[in-house]
Amino acid sequence: MTIMEAPQATRRLTTSKAMVEAIAQEMERDPSVFYMGEDVGAYGGIFSSTTGLLETFGPQRIIDTPISETAFIGLGIGAAVEGMRPIVELMFSDFMGVCLDQIYNHMAKIHFESGGHVQVPMVLTMAAGGGYSDGAQHSQCLWGTFAHLPGMKVVVPSSPADAKGLMTAAIRDDNPVVYIFHKGVMGLPWMVKNPRTLDEVPEGEYVVPIGKARVAREGSDVTVVSLSLSVHHALDVAEKLAPQGIDVEVIDLRSLVPLDREAILTSVGKTGRLVVVDEDYLSCGVSGEVVATVAEVDPGLLVMPAQRVAVPDVPIPYAHDLEYAVLPRHDRIEKAIHAVTIR
């Protein structure tokens, strides 16, 4: 896989349009790529993951499915085994419960069980996250669960450019890649959105290698390790705290599998302070893994105990104020940064 080195012309796109552009360019390039899922055709994806693709590529390659996630995710697996490059959409990550067997027992294990003789080059996309009162079954992230189970790469873009570059990389990868887009990063007109969901995106083929974190903001006082929508929140807080003399470095993990532990250690080695911000559940998940990465290598890197800002092991509540009380939003991130930077 080549990384595009030459500077490319860019224009401002929403994350959803950037993601769709990557899919379209790969479908032009490779006839074995197709996109399949619920409401991905005429509707264009409930969260605009496929807008306009049906018109360009037709119903043979942009395929609406019945509500049968086990059958159509498994279909993607079989097609991938035979050399096609399916992109299969699970409408919400929350729906993993109806089809997890195909995902973790089949998609993720076939390469291993076959001793490397059978590849499953497939992308499984899904929307995730809360913040708009969709309740406990339509607001979860669950990326930590996918990342916990071996055999699938897990990418979690936050920016429009990364959404494009990581999608291109995911389609070209010979492994199953779970591509999780937070609804809040897509730039949807019908949901509250961060201004960062509209940004510069390279025009041509663009690949962001999977497994390399990004320093979203350089800083010297504290490291905030985050992913997906929480990166935007962390950057907002960093900008707010800069005039107060707190210089925050924000690391956008971009993928959980592989996890760029080196980027975490490098930044914490520089700042000595760590806040992890994750919209997934707190315990036994991503935030603990990031802290463990430091603790296992050199706990002495930290001059203050690490802070974790995550959903405190409770289902996502419906009422707006309750939901915002458990999501890792600006107030809680700011408090955590203050807690590790008190002098």
Partner 1 sequence: MTTHTSESTTAPARSAPQAGEQQRPEPAVRSRLFETMVLCRTYEEAILREYHADKGPGFDIGKGLVPGEMHLSAGQEPVAAGICSHLTTDDAVTATHRPHHLAIAHGVDLRRMTAEIFGREAGLGRGRGGHMHLFDPDTHFSCSGIIAEGFPPALGQAFAFQRRGTDRIAVAVTGEGAANQGAFHESLNLAALWKLPVVFVVEDNDWAISVPRTRSTAVASNADRAASYGMPGHRVEDNDVEAVYAVAAEAVARARAGHGPSLIEIHTVRMWGHFEGDAQGYRPELAEVPSHDPIPRYEQQLRADGVLDDARVAAIRDRAAAAVEDAVAFAKESSTPDPASATDYVFA
How many CB atoms are closer than 10 A to CB 6?
6
Are 210 and 157 in contact, with CB atoms under 8 Å apart? no
Q: How far is the CB of 91 from partner 1 (least distance, A)?
A: 15
- DSSP letter at 68 equals -
E-state strands within 205-245: 214-217, 222-226
Beta strands 255-257 and 153-155 are antiparallel
Note every long-range contact of 78-81, with CB atoms under 8 Å and residues 24 or more positions apart, other chains counting. 79/34, 79/122, 80/119, 80/120, 80/121, 80/122, 80/176, 81/110, 81/118, 81/119, 81/120
For residue 328, whether the previous peptide bond is cis, meaning omega lies within 30 degrees of 0, is: no
User: Which position among 69, 89, 249, 334 bears the catalytic label?
Assistant: 69
Q: How far is the CB of 181 from partner 1 (least distance, A)?
A: 22
**Binders of partner 1 in range 239-278 (CB under 8 A):** none
Q: How far is the CB of 150 from partner 1 (least distance, A)?
A: 5
Q: How far is the CB of 116 from partner 1 (least distance, A)?
A: 4
Binder of partner 1 out of 125, 140, 175, 341 (CB under 8 A): 175
- Catalytic: 69? yes
Q: How far is the CB of 259 from partner 1 (least distance, A)?
A: 13
State which residue, 71 or 319, has the beta carbon closest to partner 1: 71
| Alpha-carbon dihedral 78, 84, 85, 86, rounded to 10 degrees | -50
| Stretch of 20-28, 105-113, 129-137, 201-209 contacting partner 1, by CB under 8 A | 105-113
Residue 320 identity (one-letter amino acid): H
Binder of partner 1 out of 106, 172, 182, 193 (CB under 8 A): 106
- Catalytic: 138? yes
State which residue, 47 or 95, has the beta carbon closest to partner 1: 95
# chain residues binding partner 1, by CB under 8 A: 42
The CA distance from 18 to 201, in Å, is: 7
Does residue 153 bind partner 1 (CB under 8 A)?
yes
State which residue, 175 or 223, has the beta carbon closest to partner 1: 175
User: Which position among 26, 38, 106, 138 bears the catalytic label?
Assistant: 138
Q: How far is the CB of 152 from partner 1 (least distance, A)?
A: 9
SS3 state at 341: helix
Are 141 and 290 in contact, with CB atoms under 8 Å apart? no
State which residue, 29 or 330, has the beta carbon closest to partner 1: 29
**Binders of partner 1 in range 26-85 (CB under 8 A):** 60, 65-66, 68, 70-84
Binder of partner 1 out of 37, 41, 86, 129 (CB under 8 A): 86
Tracing tokens 């959803």 back to the chain, one arrives at 16
> Which are the contacts of 170, defined by CB distance < 8 A and separation ≥ 6?
123, 153, 155, 177, 179, 210
Residue numbers at the binding site for partner 1 (CB under 8 A): 60, 65-66, 68, 70-84, 86, 98, 101-102, 105-106, 109-119, 121, 150-151, 153, 174-175
The residues that are catalytic are 69, 138
